[in-house]
Copies of this chain bind each other. A is one copy, B any other.
Amino acid sequence: MNATESNKSNLNPHVSVDCVIFGYDSNELKVLLIERKYAEQGNGSHHNPKLDIALPGNLVRDDEDLDTSAKRILKELTGLDNIYMEQFRAFGNPNRVRKEQDAEWLKTMRTDPQARVITIAYFALVKLEDYVPRPDSFARKSEWYPIKKLPKLAFDHNEILDQALQVLKFKVTHYPLGFELLPEKFSLGQLQRLYESILGDDLDKRNFRRKMKSLKLLIPLKEKQQGVAHKPAELYMFNMKVYEQLQQGILK
């Protein structure tokens, strides 16, 4: 008996959580997705595995608060642990679980597959290399997908992912970013690539450098990159005092 079966009885059929875990791999932005498997394979043989890719998510337990649910479900489906996730929005379109293949999958998984499900979505942004997903429970696979090449997802998960990306873009344009995602010493090129991978757009190199300079956010180190094939670039560190001030807002 796996974790899903043993706890089916005390799952709340009306409320789920979904986790949008963004991972940055020094070059591009990715998101963690699972491929779901069918609990009873008998009549599911005609399903299309391409339509079974989803965000890690599941029903909450009736005795569990939402943050605890999110952590548990992410761990059960992907093995990922110790990720600080932020709740960002509830999704409640009355038809969000009614697409044909979703309904078929729900029939194999739940006692009340017709029930409307409202989902509470969480998100996080991590350094990809620190987390190696490992599928379990009803996840057949658990993999990082580039944001630029997203498949069609189950339920309303494309919409949830898109909204999470909007939140991330908003944060990038309002708050300093990079301390947890870049090496301690980094080049302006590395910093710009991080911004571009999130904003999904090329930034003008001169404008970007001028803006960063005017924020006084970076400390030039008078050191250069080592062991790179291209011309070594100057290295920088964040000025943490300015970094924190920018996080504290305009009244400071």
* A interface list, Cβ under 8 A from B: 12, 14-15, 60, 62-66, 69, 87, 89-94, 116, 118, 120, 170, 172-176, 195, 211, 215, 246, 248-252
Q: Which of A60, A94, A118, A250 has the most CB atoms of chain B within a 10 A radius of its CB?
A: A250
Q: Could you say how many copies of this chain the assembly holds?
A: 2
| B60 engages A249 (CB within 8 Å) | no
Say yes or no: A62 contacts B250, CB within 8 Å. no
Residue contact A211 to B94, C-beta cutoff 8 Å: no
Contact of A173 among B15, B60, B250 (CB under 8 A): B250
The answer to whether B250 and A174 have CB atoms under 8 Å apart is yes
**With A215-B250, A246-B250 already in contact, 9 other A-B pairs whose C-beta atoms are closer than 8 Å:** A12-B14, A15-B92, A62-B116, A64-B94, A173-B251, A174-B249, A174-B250, A211-B250, A211-B251
Inter-chain CA distance A175–B60, complex, in Å, is: 35
Kindly state the separation between the CA atoms of A195 and B252 in the bound complex, as whole angstroms.
13
**B87:A90 contact, CB within 8 angstroms:** yes
Q: Please, how many angstroms separate the alpha-carbon atoms of A173 and B174 in the complex?
A: 12
Whole-angstrom distance from the CB of A192 to the nearest CB of chain B?
Answer: 11
In the complex, are the beta carbons of A92 and B65 less than 8 A apart? yes
